[in-house]
Amino acid sequence: MDKAIYNTQYIYTVYEKEIEISPLKIKYMREFMECFKAIHEATTRSEAIDVITRCVQISMKQFCPEISKSVEDVEDNFDLQTLYDILEYAGGIKFNKQKGDEESNNPQDAKDTSTWEDFDLVKLETEAFLLGIWKNFDELERSISVAELVAIVSSIRELDYEEKKFLAAMQGVDLEGETNKDRGQKEWEDMKARVFSRGQTSDSNDILSLQGPAAKKAGFGIGMGIEYEKI
């Protein structure tokens, strides 16, 4: 079975309304992560939960707009554990959990597993934009998540590498098999071939490169230098 780019989860409001949750589109992820930075400045559990609630409100802009109008809407529809689940499924934010006590989660111990700061979004988006699918970057950010962006760019780079590998193979170059040392050795051998063949070839694999002492050393070739004696 093919691996999914990301997993889709379902959460429920206190009124048993089912909502499908998946990684946030980049447009909302930017706003979400900017808001979540405040978690590190929260000095009390109550302040930290306020940050989480605002992050969920942002998330609901994508998943359930009618709940995104205010923080109060979020508080009326979700219990604390569901807020944690939304942050994990939508933003990749996980919390340290103690077995048997869900309420013991400390919001200030949240672990950001999305590695948001590791992404050069401008570079990745620019590469993806060259596909010509989106009319502008705003449309791109509203259409795909970070996980989808990474998958698209990885595919583009892989196809580009395969094309370069094919073109190199047409010229007798193995991009995967040749190391820098191998290439340096090959250049040295080709240079010697030009010298030994007096410019007739620059390919060390050409038999014309095996003349004189080089031919004798190889055991065959042009001008092996076989000794003979006149009778």
Domain contains 223: no
Shared domain for 47 and 86, answered yes or no, is yes
- Percentage above 70 pLDDT, the chain: 63
Q: In which domain, by residue range, is 76 found?
A: 9-115
Domain contains 206: yes
Domain contains 18: yes
Report residue 168's pLDDT band, with 50, 70 and 90 as the boundaries.
confident
**Averaged pLDDT of the chain:** 77
Angle at 148 between CA 142 and CA 153, to 5 degrees: 110
Q: What is the mean pLDDT of residues 124-131?
A: 90
Calculate the alpha carbon distances from 134 to 109, 143, 146 in Å.
Answer: 38, 9, 16
pLDDT over 70 (residue 7): yes
Domain contains 99: yes
Q: What is the mean pLDDT of residues 106-119?
A: 56
Shared domain for 91 and 34, answered yes or no, is yes
C-alpha 159/C-alpha 165 separation (Å) is 10
Report residue 83's pLDDT band, with 50, 70 and 90 as the boundaries.
very high
End position of a domain, from candidates 68, 92, 115: 115
Shared domain for 63 and 143, answered yes or no, is no
Domain contains 229: no
Note the pTM of the prediction, 2 decimals: 0.64
C-alpha 165/C-alpha 64 separation (Å) is 46
* Domain count for the chain: 3
* pLDDT tens digit sequence for 15-33: 999 999 999 999 999 999 9
Shared domain for 55 and 99, answered yes or no, is yes
Token duo for residue 76? 């009326």
Are 141 and 61 in contact by the 8 Å Cβ rule? The answer is no
CB atoms within 10 A of CB 218: 12
C-alpha 87/C-alpha 59 separation (Å) is 8
Dihedral pair phi/psi, residue 118, rounded to 5°: -80, -15
Please give the pLDDT value at position 187.
59
* pLDDT tens digit sequence for 181-231: 455 555 556 655 665 556 555 554 554 545 555 555 555 444 444 444 445
pLDDT over 90 (residue 92): no
The residues that bridge with 10 in the sheet, in sequence order, are: 20
Please give the pLDDT value at position 181.
47
Shared domain for 67 and 137, answered yes or no, is no
Shared domain for 85 and 155, answered yes or no, is no
Domain contains 224: no
From 84, 89, 79, 94, select the one nearest 10 (Cα to Cα). Answer: 89
Shared domain for 125 and 98, answered yes or no, is no
**H helix or E strand, kind and range, residue 49:** helix 45-63
Shared domain for 109 and 132, answered yes or no, is no
The amino acid at 177:
G
C-alpha 87/C-alpha 78 separation (Å) is 12
- As separate numbers, helices (DSSP H) first and strands (DSSP E) second, the chain gives 9, 4
Q: Lowest-confidence range among 32-36, 135-139, 150-154, 216-220? A: 216-220
Shared domain for 41 and 27, answered yes or no, is yes
Are 154 and 143 in contact by the 8 Å Cβ rule? The answer is no
CB atoms within 10 A of CB 186: 16
Shared domain for 21 and 68, answered yes or no, is yes
Shared domain for 20 and 106, answered yes or no, is yes
Please give the pLDDT value at position 4.
74
